[in-house]
Structure 1
Amino acid sequence: MTERSFIPVRIAVLTVSDTRTEADDRSGEVLAGRIDAAGHVLAARRILPDDRAEIAGALRAWCADPGIDVILTTGGTGLTGRDVTVEAHRDVYEKEIDAFSTMFTIVSMEKIGTSAVQSRACAGVAQGTYLFALPGSPGACKDAWDGILLAQLDYRHQPCNFVEIFPRLTEKERRK
């Protein structure tokens, strides 16, 4: 079997919070650091308030940007009235990656036990772009990256990974 070469992925990070600023966005910083350490490209980074329409609009704009392959959001995945990131993601998805939620729960249970039930982390695909909604805690961002995304965003990971199917995400549009 031929060894594969690493392919850097262009990743945007959106922190969803009514209170965070660039100076204290620890979760966004965790993700940016891990993106860099893995050899990927931080293509964009932003902070938005907990507003469903505004979040969905930013996601759609980034999905339409050819310089962005993956979007990671952090924050707004809980159960409170202000937590609307999951709904905004689902407004944008063409297809949901259902197993991501399950995998995230498994990874989280190893760290926080049954408290993992309170997360609504989710993932999907839109316009050939992967979108992942992660909880707002630095620990949860580390868990999602280290336990799932690091491998799945690495073209060398076998038996399969998200990177190798990038060209096929938009094959329906190419057939028209």
Structure 2
Amino acid sequence: MSHHSRQLDFISLGIAVLTVSDTRSIDEDDSGALLIDRLQSAGHHLVERTIVKDDIYHIRAQVSRWVVDEEVQVILVDGGTGFTARDSTPEALLPLFDKVIEGYGELFRQISFQQVGTSTIQSRAIAGIIDQTVVFAMPGSPKACATAWDDIIAAQLDARTRPCNFVAMVVKDIQRCGSRSTIAES
């Protein structure tokens, strides 16, 4: 269970939203719209939003462009995490990750199990760090995006979350994770 420190301020992050889809347009992208609404409501700012077809190299190219953009600190990817022949988001992202955040996919599936039962094993939600940019990939349904943001990502992108959050990895000169003993002091 995470806690908020009353002694720390919220830090707004620059977030890019990538929808992976062979069929959606911006007007039909309910999942991308949901993520944008959630991140802006939380106090973060949208740097860019785009849709790419479900192709390993298109996904890698877009993510790589954002990783080198100094305004982008977080990338949210929705779609392409299933098991169909066209689902290639994990294959696109895993080689780019400097570190994989294994706990994200594990926790997503644990929470999702309460909503969709054993069908959650077909989710290949993944996350990782690429050169100080945090990337979270989730299934493309609005409900899955809401689960990922509301139950996992929002707290991890809040500098007040203790004992740890990912803000310290993407913003220079802020306090790193605290020990569990300092939570009671917050």
TM-score (norm 1): 0.92
Q: Which amino acid aligns with 1:23?
A: D
Question: Matched residues in 1 for 2:18 and 2:6: separation?
Answer: 36
Structure 1's consecutive aligned runs of 4 or more residues displaced over 2 angstroms after TM superposition are 164-168
Q: Secondary structure at the match of 1:13?
A: strand
For the Cα contact (< 8 Å) 1:78–1:120, is it kept in 2? yes
Q: Which residue of 2 aligns with 1:28?
A: 32
2:167 aligned with 1:141: no
For the Cα contact (< 8 Å) 2:6–2:160, is it kept in 1? no
1:111: how far off? 1.3
Within 5 Å, give how 1:106-145 maps onto structure 2: 106-145=110-149
Structure 2: runs of 5+ lacking an equivalent: 173-186
2:156 aligned with 1:157: no
Q: Which structure shows the higher helix fraction?
A: 1
Question: Matched residues in 2 for 1:21 and 1:47: separation?
Answer: 7
Q: Which residue of 2 aligns with 1:57?
A: 61
Q: Secondary structure at the match of 1:133?
A: strand
Aligned sequence identity (%): 46
Q: Which residue of 2 aligns with 1:3?
A: 7
Structure 1: runs of 5+ lacking an equivalent: 169-176
Q: Which amino acid aligns with 2:99?
A: K
Q: Which amino acid aligns with 1:53?
A: Y
TM-score (norm 2): 0.87
Residue 105 (structure 1) aligned to one of 106, 109, 114: 109
Question: Matched residues in 2 for 1:12 and 1:91: separation?
Answer: 20
Q: How many residues align?
A: 168
Q: Which residue of 2 aligns with 1:19?
A: 23
1:113: how far off? 1.4
Q: Which residue of 1 aligns with 2:79?
A: 75
